[in-house]
Structure 1
Amino acid sequence: MALRNAVLAALLEGEASGYDLAKGFDASVANFWMATPQQLYRELDRMEGDGLIAARTVVQERRPNKRLFSLTEAGRAALTAFTAEASKPTAIRDELLVKVQAVDEGDAGAVRAGVAERLAWSRAKLARYERLRDRLLDGRTESDHLARADRIGPYLTLMRGLAFERENIRWGEQVLAVLDQRQGAVN
């Protein structure tokens, strides 16, 4: 999938600056698509050149001028075409998993530290996603939100991010318990 499709989907929320999109990516889209601000700004320029988005400049007095981006009809058509394409399953490519695979021959302490770091990262992401879920629900139940919200896509992807981080936490805790148990048996 190209970054442009993730940007087009993000712009369904409405007009946004590059800064707002980068913040939005970090808060919501990051559970399934990562992009640096530099990548995002380069892609916005390409997409504008390709006619998929339109930009307008907002003059600000005490700050630099900002550009606001919105979807064009061509952008909406490209997003519709993308959603109609078959999706390929993703494959896990994770350096930490290679280290865990090799823990019997490697430095178990370093592998344990890597898993503990990933566990802390997943717990922090889960907390961010839970705060985002609370904002999206805004006091409604999940079933009410899914039945009545104007847009459900952001919530559906958030559900996947929540499940992913919960599973990362479960797995990390299990790996640490096994490594600790085996270390205790060796000593």
Structure 2
Amino acid sequence: MSLKHAVLAALLEGEASGYDLAKLFDAAVANFWSATPQQLYRELERLAGEELISARVVVQERRPDKRMFTLTEAGLAELAAFTAEPPRPTAVRDDLLVKIQAVDAGDPAAARALVAARAEASRQKLARYERLRERLLDGRDEERYLREAERVGPYLTLMRGRAFEEENLRWCARVLAVLDERAAAAGAERR
């Protein structure tokens, strides 16, 4: 997947400025794709050049003018073609896993701190995702939302992001337990 398709999919929500898209990426898309605001702005320019999105300038008083972007028919066609392609297999590239792989050569206490920090980051993401979930549901239960909502894609990707972070928490808890058990056993051996 490329940033191109993530931006096109985000614009399914409707017309947005680059700033709006950066906020959307941070809040709702970050569970499956990350991008800096600078990357988004560059991609918006590229997509406009390819005529997959259109841009219009909105004049504002006391503020700089802003550009608003929307999908074109060509952008919708590109997104439809992309959704029909088989996905590439997922590959995990996580430097924390490399550090845990090498924990026996390093400092287990430092590794423990890194895993604890990852667990805290996952808890924070889950809290953000829960706020987003409540906003999407808007008082409806999940089944009703999934039946009635105009678009279910954002909720389905949110479900995946939540499951990912929940699994991160389970893994972190297990790793912390193992590291603690090993530290206790090593301490007992030294006595």
Common fold by TM > 0.5: yes
Q: C-alpha displacement at 1:173, in angstroms?
A: 1.2
Q: C-alpha displacement at 1:180, in angstroms?
A: 1.1
In the alignment, what sits opposite 1:5? 5
Q: Secondary structure, in 3 states, of the residue corresponding to 2:127? A: helix
Residue segments in structure 2 that go unaligned for 5+ positions in a row: none
Q: Any residues of structure 2 matched to 1:105-184 within 5 Å, and which?
A: 105-184=105-184
For residues 76 and 158 of structure 1, the distance between their equivalents in structure 2, rounded to whole angstroms, comes to 22
* 157-166 vs 102-111, which moves further: 102-111
Q: C-alpha displacement at 1:178, in angstroms?
A: 1.1
Q: Any residues of structure 2 matched to 1:1-187 within 5 Å, and which?
A: 1-187=1-187
For residues 131 and 171 of structure 2, the distance between their equivalents in structure 1, rounded to whole angstroms, comes to 23
Compute the RMSD of aligned alpha carbons. 0.6
Deviation digits for residues 93-146 of structure 1, max 9, x if unmatched?
111001111111211111111111111111100100011000000110000000
Deviation digits for residues 128-185 of structure 1, max 9, x if unmatched?
0011000000110000000110000000000000000000011111111111111111
The number of residues matched between the two structures is 187
Identity percentage of aligned residues = 71
**Letter of the 2:102 counterpart:** A
For residues 2 and 103 of structure 2, the distance between their equivalents in structure 1, rounded to whole angstroms, comes to 35
For residues 142 and 175 of structure 1, the distance between their equivalents in structure 2, rounded to whole angstroms, comes to 33
For residues 62 and 119 of structure 1, the distance between their equivalents in structure 2, rounded to whole angstroms, comes to 44
